[in-house]
Amino acid sequence: MARLRYVGKRLLYVVLTLWGVSLLLFLLLHALPSTPGQLMLGEAATPDQVVAINHALGYDRSMVSQYASYMGGLLHGDLGTSYLFQRPVSDELRIALPVTLKLAVFALILDVVVTVPLATIAAMRKNKPVDHAIRAIPLIGIGMPPFWTGTILLVIFAIAFKIFPAGGLEHGFGGTLRSLFLPALTQTIVASAILTRSLRQSILEVLQSDYILTARAKGVRGLRLVVGHVLPNAVVPTLSLLSVLFAGLIGGVLITESVFALPGIGSMVVQAFQVYDIPLVSGITLVTAALILVMNLLLDVLYSLLDPRVVLR
Amino acid sequence: MTSQPSRREGTRWQADAATGKPLLRVRGLSVTLPTRRGDIKAVDGVSLDVMPGSALGLVGESGSGKSILLRSILGLLPDEAHVEGQIYLEDEELNALAPKQRAMSRGKNISVIFQDPMTALNPVRRIGAQIAEGPIVHYGLRRSAARARAIELLAEVGIPDAAEVSRRYPHELSGGMRQRALIAMALACDPKIILCDEPTTALDVTLQKKIIDLLRRVCLDRGVALLFVSHDLAVVSELCDFVNVMYAGRFVETGLARQVISSPRHVYTWALLRSLPPVDGPRVAPLSIGGLPPDRLHPPTGCRFHPRCPVAQDVCVTLPYDLKDVGNGRRSACIYGAAPLPVTDEPGAVTDEQSGVVR
Amino acid sequence: MKSVTEGELQPQPFADTDESAAPTSSAPRRRRRSMKMTLGLSILAVYIAVALLAPIVAPYNPLAQQIPDALAHPGMHHLLGTDQLGRDVLSRIIYGARVDLVAATAASLGACIIGTFVGLLTGYAGGWLDIVLTRIMDMVQTIPSFTLLLVLLLVLGPGAKSLVIALIVTHWVVYARLIRGSVLTLRSQDFVAAARLAGLRTSRILVRHLLPNVGRQAVTYLASDIILAVTAIASLGYLGIGIQPPTAEWGSMINDGQDFLSSNWWLSVAPGVVVVVLGLGLALVSDSFNERKDSS
């Protein structure tokens, strides 16, 4: 029950932060040197045409009145109309967002699947060759830009060996998995480099504790010891790290979409940027901010579920 | 688990009882730990017997090797530790077993109670689940049956409202309740012997008494043997039938608890006793044992206690280690072992300055 | 996992000696640490030297197009071949260091300075200033840096200068949080109280007393931040944003080469390797710096 109350409070905080972000975006985008009319019509437009467009978009009204209608729109889920597509931004997002979400979730799952075993093995075989090998990876991994890693993976697995598609999103469950695997893996290489180090350290600390000794004294060993006693205690600090890294993760996902030509909001925002489609860019920014906030909330709740000593305030 | 008649302290065990087979036998156990500065022999050629249903106390300072001894019986030493000697539980030689078999014996026949109940319990799992884990692992009990057993055990160790408590987490219990829960956990698989590593040291005096009574009731009265490690002679004298006194990795004196404590046969034991404030009787100032704990890397020659011994003689410097019979089933490694010790209780008879001197 | 749990377990038999803790100052560890530091610094030195001496070191003009020689394989004349416009790849990579490395370092330094300043202020002063600035930091961190960069570049226009400014705006927050945390811890300590009692002006306290203590953290993060900035610049370059062609930039080179992956794969791979090695150098330096701090 206290947990639900906490979630409620946090959601309120999410809304407030989003409002702050929207205000920030509004101010920033109205600091543009050119008017929307000029941007949409380009160099060839006559001054009259520009004025007409600006009037139609309401750009010549006062800032306050513009902001009022902007906020009004937001409350109704209206994020404005895209210059590029001439359709409501929310419509465009409705198509593109699920792709990005699927990729993000897949990437997270892959992160866990890769990090947990690597960190566990490295910790259990501390200072042996395996451990040193696993610890050396982050040194290289941190310098690998996701888009480059994605390109390399493309070369090897999609072009040379043709195991995975070279881009685009295939249909159906299996097709989706195949299309999203390489992009997700790209992101995992970077994320797991950082997370493995943290989890390994955490596991080492847990292994020194008395309750692990007690569990072993009870005869608990092997997988049961790791899954039942070591990991539940060890993942907790790494979860905090994950919530800090998450914003960066999403950024990486957005860029990777362009490498693999996936029709998500990452590719979309790049296109929108190139044509100065302000409503679309700001709409996407708002949505990604909301994504981050919700994810952090989920991670905090997960944190409290794992460690009963945590009190959510 | 055989049913024993309710026992009164010490009366079941006669000094020269060769009756019955020992439950736990340790022969010539040595444990060497490599460290940065060299190898330390934490346990040096130790042998002991624990009779079924009895309580053996292991007394010594910190660093004497008693905890390492416990862990080697359990088989929970770090990989780089070098172990020699044999450990037998009933007839099975424990250190000849493969790690997997050894682990299977742990918790089932031998279980442990550690010193600090707060850190010994997994903070993210419920008490009941932790107690139930043993029976699940060793007997393949179904979860519901194991949980029920856990609740039974919690009630037996004197925790009220056991069903509700079993669903709590360790940080939600008081210190005394946690220690009782640890005892319940140790009993979960019906062990034949429970190793206790200073279970009362972290508790206050009233709680200590309760835990000792509890241990007597649920263990000794039921024929579960105890190997009770402590630096506190008072507690050991309350609970244990036999006591082995340990110094610098070796036993220096063994025998019936009440005899060793009333009339020690090794100067170190005497000094330990003298360092306790007396509970009753004339108020005599306790004497600390002078000198420093022995260097484990290069221990003193001969009797390892000789640098701190107030009545040491020249021969003590070269005396070979020999835990001799001194009658009544007692053994001592001291040259004075065969008779009561030549030290007195008079204040000033042994002072701090003198105890560092070898005469 | 047969012997996994029979692995490392360190009992603590002797209360005074600490055999079980990993000794951070044992001789072999010290040697390893200084090897790391040396290797890292050498890598960085090479990069800096190349960037500074580009006109001398590069065999060709990075912008010079020789269409007839386009897509040449690595050989005597062109050590790394040429791209689709006949430009020498090696020279472009060398000049790319001037762009990527310089921009990234400028951005990170700027972020470090501003972030440290803000962190000192909010940590020390507290009050409404702290609350407001912390809320702003929250909001900036909530927006993924990629989208924030795009928004900022929309406003600031194309070019290297806007890129650096945009990166500073995106990156300062981490420094601010780091420093603020340190300042909060140190603020209540005695030496600060002593300084205040002595009547020192706040600014003097901040600069002379607090800064040296917290500055170390900021400098340590700087190394990681630079590689993050390089990655960001390259990612944007890859997407055609930020540094504009025909300027040689590692990211845009990788994009250019993507069309020729099957025939001239090194066009895309080589610039990436250059980035990875730079990251390695920075990571080595930052790691060994960290380790030294731990053991002292």
User: Taking CB atoms and an 8 Å limit, are A21 and C143 in contact across chains?
Assistant: yes
Residue A221, min C-alpha distance to chain C (Å):
6
Of C6, C10, C11, the CB nearest to B99: C6
Domain membership of residue C13 (yes or no) is no
Of C2, C13, C19, the CB nearest to B63: C13
Of C2, C15, C26, the CB nearest to B63: C15
C window 71-90, beta carbon within 8 A of A? none
User: Taking CB atoms and an 8 Å limit, are C9 and B33 in contact across chains?
Assistant: no
C144 C-beta neighbours (distance < 10 Å), count: 27
Q: Name the residue among B343, B356, B338, B326 with its Cα closest to residue B270.
A: B343
User: Taking CB atoms and an 8 Å limit, are B77 and C11 in contact across chains?
Assistant: yes
> Each residue of C5-58: pLDDT tens digit?
332 222 322 222 223 344 445 666 677 778 888 888 898 899 988 888 888 888
Domain membership of residue C144 (yes or no) is yes
> Each residue of B194-248: pLDDT tens digit?
999 988 887 888 888 888 899 888 887 788 899 999 888 888 888 899 999 999 8
Among A93, A148, A161, A194, most C C-beta atoms within 10 A, so best to mutate, is A148
Q: Name the residue among B188, B74, B194 with its Cα closest to residue B141.
A: B188
Residue A218, min C-alpha distance to chain B (Å):
4
Residue B147 has pLDDT above 60, yes or no: yes
- Dihedral pair phi/psi, residue B48, rounded to 5°: -155, 160
Arithmetic mean of pLDDT over chain B: 81
pLDDT of residue C104: 92
Arithmetic mean of pLDDT over chain C: 78
CATH number for C277: 1.10.3720.10
Which residues are CB-contacts of C230 (< 8 A; sequence separation ≥ 6)? Answer: C100, C101, C104, C250, C275, C278, C279
Q: What average pLDDT does range B38-43 have in this prediction?
A: 87
User: Taking CB atoms and an 8 Å limit, are A219 and B103 in contact across chains?
Assistant: yes
Domain membership of residue C136 (yes or no) is yes
Owning domain of residue C275: 52-295
DSSP C233-247: HHHHHHTT-SSPTTS
Among B124, B133, B138, B185, most A C-beta atoms within 10 A, so best to mutate, is B124
Q: What average pLDDT does range A159-187 have in this prediction?
A: 78
Higher pLDDT, C89 or B347: C89
Pairs of CB atoms within 8 A across A/B: 75
User: Taking CB atoms and an 8 Å limit, are A281 and C150 in contact across chains?
Assistant: yes
pLDDT of residue C26: 61
User: Taking CB atoms and an 8 Å limit, are B78 and C17 in contact across chains?
Assistant: no
Residue A17, min C-alpha distance to chain B (Å):
33
Domain membership of residue C26 (yes or no) is no
User: Taking CB atoms and an 8 Å limit, are A220 and B120 in contact across chains?
Assistant: no
Q: Which residues of A touch C5 (CB under 8 A)?
A: 124, 216, 221-222, 225-226
Secondary structure of residue B310 in the 3-state scheme: coil
Which residues are CB-contacts of B68 (< 8 A; sequence separation ≥ 6)? Answer: B31, B33, B42, B43, B77, C11, C13
Of B119, B138, B169, the CB nearest to A211: B119
Secondary structure of residue B124 in the 3-state scheme: coil
Residue C74 has pLDDT above 60, yes or no: yes
User: Taking CB atoms and an 8 Å limit, are B100 and C2 in contact across chains?
Assistant: yes
Residue B205, min C-alpha distance to chain A (Å):
24
pLDDT grade for A281, boundaries at 50, 70 and 90: confident
User: Taking CB atoms and an 8 Å limit, are A17 and C10 in contact across chains?
Assistant: no
Domain membership of residue C215 (yes or no) is yes
CA atoms within 13 A on the CB side of C189: 10
Residue C169 has pLDDT above 60, yes or no: yes
Q: Which residues of B touch C8 (CB under 8 A)?
A: 78-79
**What distance in Å separates the CA atoms of residue C139 and residue A10, rounded to the nearest whole number?**
15
What is the ipTM score, two decimals?
A: 0.82
User: Taking CB atoms and an 8 Å limit, are C9 and B36 in contact across chains?
Assistant: no
pLDDT of residue B185: 92
Of A214, A228, A229, the CB nearest to B112: A214
Domain membership of residue C12 (yes or no) is no
How many separate domains does chain C show?
Answer: 1
For A256, nearest residue in chain C (alpha carbons): C235
pLDDT grade for B317, boundaries at 50, 70 and 90: confident
Residue count of chain B: 359
Q: Which residues of B touch A126 (CB under 8 A)?
A: none
Which residues are CB-contacts of B118 (< 8 A; sequence separation ≥ 6)? Answer: B170, B171, B175, B178
User: Taking CB atoms and an 8 Å limit, are C15 and B79 in contact across chains?
Assistant: no
Among C2, C3, C14, most B C-beta atoms within 10 A, so best to mutate, is C14
Residue A17, min C-alpha distance to chain C (Å):
6
Secondary structure of residue A131 in the 3-state scheme: helix
User: Taking CB atoms and an 8 Å limit, are C240 and A274 in contact across chains?
Assistant: yes
Tell me the C-alpha to C-alpha distance, in Å, between residue A300 and each of A7, A75, B180, C10: 9, 27, 34, 33
Handedness of CA C151, C152, C155, C159 (dihedral sign): negative
pLDDT of residue B57: 93
Chains near C, with 3+ CB pairs < 8 A?
A, B
Domain membership of residue C6 (yes or no) is no
Of A146, A269, A292, the CB nearest to C150: A269
User: Taking CB atoms and an 8 Å limit, are C261 and A281 in contact across chains?
Assistant: no
**C76: its two tokens:** 């005597």
Domain membership of residue C39 (yes or no) is no
pLDDT of residue C293: 55
> Each residue of A190-246: pLDDT tens digit?
888 888 888 888 898 888 888 998 898 888 888 889 888 999 888 888 888 888 788
Share of chain B above pLDDT 90, in %: 21
**What distance in Å separates the CA atoms of residue B100 and residue A87, rounded to the nearest whole number?**
67
Ordered alpha helix ranges (H), chain A: 2-29, 36-41, 47-56, 63-75, 89-124, 129-141, 146-153, 172-207, 210-217, 222-225, 231-259, 265-274, 278-306
Least confident piece of the model among A4-18, A21-35, C164-178: A21-35
Of C8, C11, C13, the CB nearest to B79: C8
User: Taking CB atoms and an 8 Å limit, are C6 and B79 in contact across chains?
Assistant: yes
Q: Name the residue among A111, A193, A113 with its Cα closest to residue C276.
A: A193
Distance of CA A190 to the CA centre of its chain: 13
Chains near A, with 3+ CB pairs < 8 A?
B, C
Residue B153, min C-alpha distance to chain A (Å):
16
Q: Name the residue among C59, C67, C68 with its Cα closest to residue C89.
A: C59
Least confident piece of the model among B16-30, B171-185, B306-320, C226-240: B16-30
Chains near B, with 3+ CB pairs < 8 A?
A, C
Arithmetic mean of pLDDT over chain A: 82
pLDDT grade for C3, boundaries at 50, 70 and 90: very low
**What distance in Å separates the CA atoms of residue B140 and residue B149, rounded to the nearest whole number?**
13
User: Taking CB atoms and an 8 Å limit, are C17 and B35 in contact across chains?
Assistant: yes
The domains of chain B, with CATH numbers, are: 35-257 (3.40.50.300)
Tell me the C-alpha to C-alpha distance, in Å, between residue B306 and each of A252, B161, B263: 70, 54, 20
> Each residue of C117-160: pLDDT tens digit?
888 888 877 788 888 888 888 888 888 888 889 888 888 878 88
For B106, nearest residue in chain A (alpha carbons): A219
